[in-house]
């Protein structure tokens, strides 16, 4: 697929599309400097294909445990909501 609004990310797009076409379950972590288009890249490439959860950033050492717990809870809730939606049922 062609992404006219994304410049200079050909390699990253190929990798994401490879993961999307995989017959296995895949987990992809994308990290880097802020404000370089990581979220936009994922949203565009994965549009209408799967859900996207943006996890909270870890900014202070003291808050890592709380942030990890919050991020994991956010991810798990979104994951199970997606699974249940695809099954035609929604459980909380």
DSSP 78: H
Max avg pLDDT among 13-22, 32-41, 72-81: 13-22
For residue 80, what pLDDT band results from cuts at 50, 70 and 90?
confident
| 34 CA to centre of own chain | 15
Asked if the model's pLDDT at residue 88 lies above 60, the reply is no
Going from the C-alpha of 35 to that of each of 13, 39, 43, 63, the distances in angstroms are 18, 9, 14, 22
Among residues 89, 23, 82, the alpha carbon closest in space to that of 53 is found at 82
pLDDT (tens digit per residue) in 2-25: 888 899 999 999 999 998 898 887
The C-alpha angle with vertex 29 and arms to 24 and 90, in degrees rounded to 5, equals 65
43 and 28 Cβ atoms separated by less than 8 Å: no
The model's pTM is 0.58
């Amino acid at each position: 697929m062609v992404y006219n609004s994304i410049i200079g990310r050909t390699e990253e797009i190929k990798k994401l599309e490879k993961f999307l076409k995989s017959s296995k379950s895949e987990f992809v972590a994308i990290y880097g400097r802020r404000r370089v288009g990581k979220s936009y890249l994922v949203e565009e490439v994965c549009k209408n294909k799967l859900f996207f959860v943006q996890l909270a950033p870890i900014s202070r050492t003291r808050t890592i445990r709380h942030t990890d717990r919050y991020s994991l809870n956010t991810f798990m809730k979104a994951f199970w909501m997606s699974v249940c939606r695809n099954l035609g049922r929604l459980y909380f």
